[in-house]
Structure 1
Amino acid sequence: MPATGTGAGTAAGQGTAPLGRAVEDYLQHMLVERGLAANTLAAYRRDLNRYVRFLQQRGITAPGAIARQDVSAFAQALSDGADGAAPLSTRSAARTIVAVRGLHKFWVLEGTTGLDAAGDIHPPMPGKRLPKAISVAEVTRILESVGTDSPGGLRDRALLEFLYSTGARISEAVGLDVDDVALARDAAERSTGGPAVVRLFGKGSKERVVPLGSYAAQALDDYLVRARPGIAAKGRGTPALFLNARGGRLSRQSAWTILKAAAGKAGIGQDVSPHTLRHSFATHLLEGGADVRVVQELLGHASVTTTQVYTLVTADTLREVFAAAHPRALG
């Protein structure tokens, strides 16, 4: 059955060959039955075109002639370019293998083949990417680069101090309302590092309570007393904690822009995003001796496994210190 409409063109130009027709049947199924978006269907077509060309190079022209070793060899070719095409990244190779596995599963369900030659071929797993973190000194430079002589400056300083103090996701920060924050209000509470906490709503609206450091608490107090009332008067009475210049809720993009400007002013060379402060929060806590499960709770991770990637960062730091300081670290 030839494919029509979205993603026109036949697999590797082989619409009349058994292999090409069988691939087109699958693409048509994905278009009509699964309602695949145009861009996604086009990506499937590109991936399967490469698969068809690879099989043709091995003299295979029909689905029933494909063996497991053919699929395995194709998976290897995606990484090393042995089929004459450009090697793919781990992520792109994984996407291609997913398309091939879906194709073979479809052929089995349709009775085109008796066995699933790709059933035990798994997509390559991307390596763990270590979170990007900046040093404590760099964080301090960013925070202190924001002037507090204007309402906007007070808000910006409060936002950045808050992000680093809590490790909050940017969506959690801009989604906060004033009532979600409990600050120490009197001198006695401040002098004893009194109860300053914030209620955050993470993924799946899961709620957690996170303490606020004294710097963040003070910055928020200054913003709430000296800046927010005037900014809020320009809007329609939103309960949002962080407001834009028009008195409405601050957007994620605006928060990103605030941090970007502060990092540039501080002379930080690397790209810094709101997530950088979250990564730095976790890394600095662990380097300071915090238990990984405590950091898990503060970050709002459902599993400690997610948090443990940060321990790889601190392990690298420990190795560097050991190599530089131990008299017999290097032979």
Structure 2
Amino acid sequence: MIKNPYLKSFKDYLKLERSLSANSIDAYLTDIDKLSQYLESVDKPVNFKEVTKDDLKLFITWVNELGMLPSTQARVISGLKSFFSFMLLEQIISVDPTELLESPRLSRKLPDTLNTIEINQLIDIIDASKPEGMRNKAMLETLYGCGLRVTELISLRISNIYFENEYIKVIGKGNKERIVPIGAAALKFIKIYIEESRVHISIKKGYEDYIFLNRGGTGLSRISVFTTIKALAVKAGISKSISPHTFRHSFATHLIEGGADLRAVQEMLGHSSITTTEIYTHLDRDYLKGVITEFHPRS
């Protein structure tokens, strides 16, 4: 990554003032690096104080010709907007060159979901006699029962579970806390895992309060959760391309199909905007057909 005197300050700003995760910060810095690469490729000095709107338009054309998807282009533009807004805030520049820069129009892809039969298949296929079996059952029940992101799942603490009240405290994006109800099935498997399986793990210092641990006694990685779910899907004969996020999609979709209030689902998912939650209002054709048949006066 090209060195720049403003990047260190920008990185500190993202971490301290916007409370972004390390992954998000790296994504922002990568976007700025792409602009640096472009400026070098056209023999322009990498001086962000002198970047103009026209430079950025040509840069967007450049990344488009590289074959980047519109969603990736939109993310890059978002990263640049944040960087130049920071530059303006710090009075490094007097005019924000991204102010009128438009992002490409994105089609909203409906997320894949699992039906309840498929979710049961995935959970039932787990061999609870294996050391990690009960942990995996508890993980999947929690993903589906609470609609968690994978990072929220792997950072979940024992002290964040209120067993008597059936709630969990979740630390979401931007270190925002939210309280989410947790179902009886998830609580049951978490209790069994903690009391009968987890107690046999030699837990490393600093991980005593983490619920989900690997064999080495440290926290799970995002990749290990992905790998576990992919392997279970193959074993269960489910051909859909699924990930931990599929359980979150399914959680939201099943609630809304069951008649749950959209704002309640927004609160449980930890979405800052209701428009983000609205993507989960897609319903399968059979469900829509049933609604029309039952309720439309001319059906």
Q: For 1:140 and 1:285, how far apart are their aligned partners in 2?
A: 16
Alignment size in residue pairs: 249
Q: Which amino acid aligns with 2:260?
A: A
Distance 1:98 1:241 in 2: 35
Q: Work out whether residues 151 and 226 of structure 1, in 8 Å CA contact, stay in contact via their aligned partners in 2.
A: no
Shift of 1:305: 1.6
Work out whether 1:229 is the aligned partner of 2:224: no
Identify which of 279, 284, 288 aligns with 2:249. Answer: 279
Taking the TM superposition and a 5 Å limit, the aligned residue runs for 1:164-243 are 164-184=144-164, 195-231=165-201, 233-236=202-205, 238-243=208-213
The separation in 1 between residues aligned to 2:163 and 2:77, in whole angstroms, is 52
Residue of structure 2 equivalent to 1:12:
none
Q: Unpaired segments of 5 or more residues in structure 1?
A: 1-5, 7-30, 50-67, 102-116, 185-194
- The amino acid across from 2:251 in the alignment is F
**What corresponds to 2:138 in structure 1?**
158
Listed one character per residue, the Cα deviations across residues 24-78 of structure 1 (whole Å, up to 9, x for unaligned) are xxxxxxx8676686544224566x79xxxxxxxxxxxxxxxxxx9xx99x99x99
CA distance in 1, matches of 2:77, 2:182: 46
TM-score normalised by the chain length of structure 1: 0.62
Please name the residue that 2:94 is paired with.
Answer: none
SS across alignment from 2:283: helix
Deviations 1:73-92 (A, max 9, x none): x99x99xx9xxx79874346
Match of 2:119 in 1: 139
- After superposition, give the CA deviation of every residue in 1:166-207 in whole Å (9 maximum; x if it has no partner): 0011111111111111225xxxxxxxxxx3221111122222
Q: 1: CA distance between counterparts of 2:288 and 2:143?
A: 29
- 1:248 CA drift (Å): 1.5
**1: CA distance between counterparts of 2:71 and 2:254?**
30
* Contact 1:238-1:249 within 8 A present in 2 as well: no
Structure 1 pair 270–258 and aligned structure 2 pair: CA distance change class (3 A): same
Three-state SS of the structure 1 residue aligned to 2:138 is helix
Q: How does 1:252-267 map to 2 (within 5 A)?
A: 252-267=222-237
Name the counterpart of 2:283. Answer: 314
Shift of 1:210: 1.4
Q: In 1, Cα distance between the equivalents of 2:245 and 2:175? A: 19
Percent identity at matched positions? Answer: 34
Give TM-score scaled by structure 2 length: 0.68
Quote the Cα distance in structure 1 between the aligned partners of 2:40 and 2:235.
47
Cα deviation per residue 1:121-159 (whole Å; 9 max; x = unaligned)? 633221222222122211111111111113310111111
Secondary structure at the residue paired with 1:296? helix
Looking at structure 1, the residues matched to 247 and 77 of structure 2 have their Cα atoms a distance apart, in angstroms, of 35
RMSD value over aligned CA atoms?
4.0
1:268/1:238 CA distance change after superposition, 3 Å: same
1:42 lines up with 2:12 in the alignment: no
Q: 1:90 and 1:316, CA in 2 relative to 1: closer, same or farther beyond 3 A?
A: farther
- The match for 1:55 is none
Cα 1:215–1:98, aligned 2, differ >3 Å: closer, same or farther?
A: closer
Q: Which runs of 5+ in 2 are unaligned?
A: 8-28, 44-53, 82-96
Give the aligned residue type for 1:147.
D
Instruction: Report the alpha carbon displacement of residue 225 of structure 1 after superposing the two structures with TM.
Output: 1.3
Change in Cα spacing, 1:209 to 1:96, as seen in structure 2 (3 Å) is closer
- Change beyond 3 A, Cα 1:205–1:321: same
Quick one: distance in 1 between partners of 2:124 and 2:105?
41
